[in-house]
Amino acid sequence: MRKYAIIGVGHVGATIAYTLVCKGIADELVLIDTNAAKARAEQLDLQDAQARLDSRTIIKINDYHELDDTDILFVTSGNIHALDHAFGNRWAEFEYTKQIVQDIAPKVKATKFNGVVIDTMNP
């Protein structure tokens, strides 16, 4: 089974999720976001999109324990709005991403995750 997870379903995370589902790459996909309504909306959109696909992906949301047998974890969390006042300084987001990592890391560590992490956070 090919199982993927994405923490942070903003623009980047949602695009990765869409690609994994529409290309038939993932058998299972876990979407995790602090905005539960956003995670649910992405789940519903992806489930609806599968009506015309030849493949099916089981999509689960906001359950860190689903990481136990996940092959690849994408961490795409961030706070793009922090850059609105930073005048192009990508390091301005560091204070936000530091807090996000401090929140996410213990939750991931509490699972049996033993896969590959692909981190796209800034900086």
Give Cα 65 to chain centroid, integer Å: 14
Strands (E) in the chain, as ranges, are 3-7, 28-32, 58-61, 72-75, 116-119
Question: Average pLDDT for residues 73-84, to the nearest whole number?
Answer: 81
CA distances from 103 to 10, 32, 38, 97 (A): 17, 13, 18, 10
Does residue 105 lie within any of the structural domains? no
Does residue 13 lie within any of the structural domains? yes
Structural domain of 71? 3-95
Does residue 10 lie within any of the structural domains? yes
**pLDDT number for residue 13:** 97
Does residue 70 lie within any of the structural domains? yes
Q: What's the number of domains the chain is made of? A: 1
Does residue 100 lie within any of the structural domains? no
Does residue 88 lie within any of the structural domains? yes
Does residue 109 lie within any of the structural domains? no
pLDDT tens-digit map of 8-53: 999 999 999 999 999 999 999 999 999 999 999 999 999 999 999 9
CATH, residue 25: 3.40.50.720
Whether residue 1 has pLDDT greater than 70:
yes
Confidence of residue 94 (pLDDT cuts 50, 70, 90): confident
Does residue 111 lie within any of the structural domains? no
